Homo-oligomer: A and B are copies of this chain.
Amino acid sequence: MRASYDQIAGQSVERLAALSDGVFAVAMTLLVLDLHAPAVGGVSSERELWHALASLHPQFVMYLMSFLTLGIFWVGQQTQLNCLARSDRHLTWIHLIFLFAVGILPFSTRVLAEFPGYRVALVAYWGNLALLGGVLYASWGRATRAALLKGDIPEDVVEAICRRIEVAQGLYAAGALLCVFGTEWSIAFIALVQLWYALAPRLRRAQ
């Protein structure tokens, strides 16, 4: 009986993609709720408003960085899902765990934004990145093992997706390790990696 349910449950890649787009869209937009407009009472001149807005730059940079992070993982997930002919219940649950990790990113970002000098905050943030990457890696393993890919996906694409995750996660881990010198090194390094992944195709094109 259960086997029968498992065979029919969670087969729609489209529904999985739609739920994922929804979770990413909410997570991307919720992040901005942490940008609070300056209080009216504390501002009485253009210069003070400018300073009040400028003093938001740590939250703003953090929002931008998390938006980049969500963008990178959204591109990574949709690249995988586009290669799938169908899903199964196992793969669906792997992606639900992925979405759980997406959902807590606003929280771990907020912790890092409030405690940028603390290693615990940095390791929590990195743990979130590692969870996102690890689950995406497991998803791709499942998809290839269970023959869920479309028939026309060449072997080197399968490997490129694996290697991409391995390299990115290696860089994130290296960035996290830099916190033995200081969390500012880690944050700067991880931010550079994110910028690289977002801008890289453009730079290569421009060559």
Determine the distance from Cα of A19 to Cα of B20 in the docked complex, in whole angstroms. 9
Determine the distance from Cα of A2 to Cα of B160 in the docked complex, in whole angstroms. 7
Report A1-23 CB contacts with B as 1/0, cut-off 8 Å: 11111101111100101110111
User: Closest CB of chain B to A72's CB: distance in Å?
Assistant: 9
Check if A147 is an interface residue, CB within 8 A of chain B.
no
User: Closest CB of chain B to A187's CB: distance in Å?
Assistant: 16
Give the chain B neighbours of A31 by CB distance below 8 A: 103
Give the chain B neighbours of A180 by CB distance below 8 A: none
A89-B19 CB under 8 A given contacts A10-B79, A124-B53: no
Check if A143 is an interface residue, CB within 8 A of chain B.
no
User: Closest CB of chain B to A98's CB: distance in Å?
Assistant: 11
Copies of chain A in the complex: 4
Check if A161 is an interface residue, CB within 8 A of chain B.
yes
Check if A163 is an interface residue, CB within 8 A of chain B.
yes
Interface residue ranges, A against B (CB under 8 Å): 1-6, 8-12, 15, 17-19, 21-33, 35, 37-38, 40, 43, 46, 49-50, 53, 63-64, 67, 71, 74-76, 78-79, 81-83, 88-90, 92-93, 96, 99-100, 103-104, 106-107, 110-111, 114-115, 118-121, 124, 156-157, 159-161, 163-164, 198-202, 204-205
